[in-house]
Structure 1
Amino acid sequence: MNNEISKLDPKVVWEHFYSLTQVPRPSKHEDRIQKFMYDFGKDLGLETIKDEIGNIIIKKPATSGMEDRQGVILQAHLDMVPQKNAGVDHDFEKDPIETYIEDGWVHAKDTTLGADNGIGAAAMMAVLSSDDLEHGPIECLFTCDEETGMTGAENLKPGVLDGDILMNLDSEDEGELYVGCAGGVDVEVEVPYTLEDCPDNMQGFEFHIKGLKGGHSGMDIHLGKANANKLLARFLDKYDNLGIRLSEAEGGSLRNAIPRESHALLAVPNDKVADFEKAVKEYEKDMQQEFKDIEPTLNVEAKEVGTPKQVIDAKEANAMVKALVACPDGVEAMSKEMEGLTETSNNLARIEFLKGKLLVQCLTRSSNDDAKMALTEKIRDAFKGLDASFSTFGAYPGWQPNMDSTILKAMQEVYKDTFGKTPEIKAVHAGLECGLLGAVYPNWDMISFGPTIRNPHSPDERVNIETVEKFWTFLKASLKAIPAK
């Protein structure tokens, strides 16, 4: 495996990041990375704890003369989003991540990179393993299962950590300090449907929407990227006059990733095949025009396959398709307090028509709890009239900004002194763990920062090398400048 990235500067961070790429760590399959981090702490001779849920906590005493400083909790999550390009042979539970360097960025080959949140975790490892830093008491909190439910943060016990300041290292724009984030809730809809034998004189087709960029459903939702599930539903709705019968369909994979691909097994009347093939080309052209500046590789295609044995009742299929077209997706409202910040959004993350049941999964986000729940009701309304079951779960709170934060003011000064300019102060539409952690430890003064990462939660994920060095320099200087108790 190419270890070229371990030679980058700052070497102490990149060496640890490389080691993380070699340990499989998809969400829900974190035993190996938890053992790796636990052993790392023990091998350094530091107090190391694995709690009941799987969080790893490693404590490092203050350096000489810094014992009077406020205690700092450095925090990052261990899991990563497992996404790969179609046709790529990669097992996220077994295979390491293959990386390469291009134009000042570190990328992964056809998979997610895991810089979200591996760079933050690597920086924490660098703090723990370095003997030339100046800092007060340090506690490193490596949480589990952030990407699929923030399970580690939600189940952290009070009284385990002693510090006063939380530095979350999971932001994705260098030069920005984050002081707030959106909350979220998972939405699930199930609709039963009737299957019947496929009529005679029908031709089977595999229909595909692919080539979309996807991305993080919080960080990227305002960019107006195409959602493959929406495009599939829109096609079936637009061309329902062709007598197309739906047999099966599936799109998207993870609730916090904008769907990049969606496909369906269709049956088309023999006398409408030519019209259907024309419609596919027409729809591809229309979608390429609609998303011309956003989705340059958008592709719509259909290929002949064997005729499916069963199809969904036509009336029921039509009603479910229209519900998917009506289902909210994308930005619902922008923040009135912070210019350019998304307040409320929904990601139509996953759909599956299979064996008599439609499953729909969404992730709804908002910095306003009332607006968040109001949007879930709009999702429910989209499926009104169908025999649908509707549920919400996994709700987590947002993190409300504190502009009088002591650590915010201190780090603003450190950044200005170090780089000669003032950092931007922002909130983020993504769901940082700060909201949940702050609910358990309400005394914490919290801030979030990190290097520049682009396209997280997709195989286009990359991290900017120059900003990792600035991030590390800033972290070291900030730890040195922590105020006394």
Structure 2
Amino acid sequence: MLSTLNPKFVWQIFNDICKIPHPSHHEQMITKYIVDFAATHHIDCQLDKAGNILLSKAATKSMENCPSIALQAHMDMVPQKNEGTQHDFLTDPIQAYVDGEWVKAKGTTLGADNGVGLASALAVLIDPSVEHGPLEVLVTTSEETGMHGAFGLQPNWLKSHYLINTDSEDEGEIFTGCAGGVDFSINFAITYAVMPEIHDCYIELALKGLKGGHSGCDIHLGRGNAIKLMARLLAEYGQDISFRLADIRGGSLRNAIPREAFAELTLNKQDLPKLAEIVKQYQSILQNEFGQVEPDIELTVKEVTTDSVKRVIAIEQQNKIINMLNTAPNGVVSMSNQIHGVVETSLNLGIVSISDNQLSVNFLIRSQVDSAKDAVVSTLISLSQLVNANYEISGGYSGWEPNLNSSLLQLAKDKYQEIFSKQAKIMVIHAGLECGLFKQSYPHMDMISIGPTIVSPHSPDEKVNIQSVYRYWELLIAILKSACYLK
């Protein structure tokens, strides 16, 4: 049972959070939980127009004159599940369980990102053993789908000059900067044609078993993008067999590396053995290329039946779709010239779908450097124009520039050394922490980000290390206890 783990308040609250559906844009129930939590414990609670929640608590005895610190977490989670898992993220609780040194979920994302951080912030408010100065807890909405709460945060609402973001995922690392990002979508109308008369077979290609993961934190690991690999298959072998494309889809979130992709094709039944041989050959190629990075790649072909009129995409548009997806940039674009081992610029081809006679392709671009981010946008604009498609740019935000002279950073470093007898790593994360947006409303705020070790966020393989939660908690409460040392 999660509620028996230590630190007990953190795990008890996280256990509660797992029982409450809270995917992005469906945060009504988790909002009610936090509001009721505040009322039960006599904690001041406010909501803003964006749905953000601000909880405030007075200092513990003898710390009234210390600087105020804000703890920050987001309330939403990424809803991802394995194929075959029966789970409704709008109604069903996450089935979290202990597996050795880890907490995992059965067939779905766990929501440790950012549920453990949220639980720790709420635990600080009610744990009588925690000493702290004036304290604020900011809980934001819909971070995972565009940081809507952070975009809507108003100036002068928070009183704290210092903020600890709880949304990083490597215990022992203190983050002091992050990438900015922007969403890019390519859209164009689909024209359909009647399935050719010589085609008497309707089949589905399915590419599954990839690891997926966070499009920022995991983008450098060399994992496969299911959409790109499906497009490559159709492009490389499209001349070897006569087929028509009826549908293509893959991915579900622009900030998650796609784990699965599907293509529906029509062809002459006599070509099925040749297609099966192509599929077998391509899977062998992928297994050789990806090795142990993606050991569970599975490519299947099966004949399907449909009662609807069998239509296919017009041949000219079919070629555009396949060529566009095959040539679209994806993955790491460049590494940082300033911070060794840190990705500077990347993009993730996160979703492809066809709905209401329109193809949509969604990318998320990340970069520490705004001009480099703009260069990738320019590339995608050119790609859109080459296929005569419309495009849309949205949700842009700047990165969080590192401040190595931060007094909060120095305090966190000192406390880590004192507690664990070793130095913490000072890092910049290639992901979109909300701190970059907070700087727009609170330009002088001193911020860091810390958290427990979470592996494979944004995928059903997500898990959080139990011991790392305890160590993260020890650091967090030590920083709060030493708030008076802040300049």
Q: Structure 2-normalised TM-score?
A: 0.97
Native 8 Å contact 1:344 1:372 kept in 2: yes
Q: What does residue 207 of structure 1 align with?
A: 205
1 CA distance for matches of 2:316 and 2:24?
Answer: 39
Give the structure 2 partner of residue 437 of structure 1: 438
In structure 2, what is the equivalent of residue 329 of structure 1?
Answer: 330
Matches within 5 A, 1:351-366: 351-366=352-367
Shift, 1:442, TM fit: 1.1
Question: Partner residue of 1:75?
Answer: 72
> Is the Cα contact below 8 Å between 2:57 and 2:135 reproduced in 1?
yes
Unaligned runs of 5+ in 1: none
1:60 to 57, 64, 77: 57
SS across alignment from 1:207:
strand
* Equivalent pair of 1:38/1:50 in contact (CA under 8 Å): no
Alignment of 1:271-310 (within 5 A): 271-306=270-305, 309-310=310-311
| Distance apart, 1:78 and its partner CA | 0.4
TM-fit CA distance, 1:411: 1.0
Matching residue within 16, 19, 24 for 2:16: 19
> What is the deviation of 1:342?
0.5
2:94 to 92, 97, 103: 97
Please say if residues 165 and 446 of structure 1, whose CA atoms lie closer than 8 Å, have aligned partners that are also in contact: yes
Q: Which amino acid aligns with 1:424?
A: K
Matched, 1:162 2:159: yes
Mapped to 1, the partners of 2:62 and 2:100 lie a distance apart of: 42
List structure 1 segments (4+ residues) > 6 angstroms apart after TM superposition: none
Report the alpha carbon displacement of residue 142 of structure 1 after superposing the two structures with TM. Answer: 0.6
Is the counterpart of residue 117 in structure 1 residue 106 in structure 2?
A: no
AA aligned opposite 2:411: A
TM superposition shift of 1:484:
5.2
**Which of 183, 188, 192 pairs up with 1:191?**
188
Gaps of 5+ in 2: none
Q: How many angstroms apart in 2 are the aligned matches of 1:132 and 1:275?
A: 69
Name 1:422's counterpart in structure 2: 423
Distance in 1 between residues matched to 2:204 and 2:321, nearest whole Å: 19
Q: Per-residue CA shift, 1:65-120, capped at 9, x if unaligned?
A: 11111110000000000000001110111111001111200000000000000000
Higher mean Cα deviation, 297-306 or 382-391? 382-391
- Secondary structure of the 1:215 match is coil
The 5 Å alignment of 1:316-395 reads 316-395=317-396
SS of residue matched to 2:385: coil
- Take 1:354 and 1:179, find their aligned partners in 2: how far apart are those partners? 41
Q: Write the distance in 2 (CA, Å) between the matches of 1:282 and 1:400.
A: 47
Q: CA deviation at 1:355?
A: 4.6
Residue 174 of structure 1 pairs with residue 171 of structure 2: yes
Question: Is residue 2:397 matched to residue 1:400?
Answer: no
Q: Secondary structure at the match of 1:358?
A: strand
Return the match for 2:6 from 6, 9, 34. 9
Give the superposition deviation at 1:414: 0.7
Q: Secondary structure at the match of 1:384?
A: helix
Aligned amino acid, residue 242 of structure 2 = G
Quote the residue 1:232 is aligned against: 230
Structure 1 counterpart of 2:206, one-letter code: H
After TM superposition, the structure 1 stretch with the greater mean CA deviation from structure 2, 433-442 or 192-201, is 192-201
Distance change (3 Å), C-alpha of 1:160 and 1:354: closer
Q: Distance in 1 between matches of 2:249 and 2:441?
A: 38
Q: 1:263 deviation in Å?
A: 0.6
Check the 8 A contact 1:248/1:354 in 2, yes or no: no
CA displacement at 1:193 relative to structure 2: 2.9
Deviation at 1:377, TM superposition (A): 1.5
Question: Would the aligned equivalents of 2:335 and 2:341 in 1 still touch at CA under 8 Å?
Answer: yes
Deviations 1:270-329 (A, max 9, x none): 332221111111111111111112111100001012376111122221122111111110
SS in 2 for 1:48: strand
* SS of aligned partner of 2:117: helix
| Percent identity over paired residues | 45
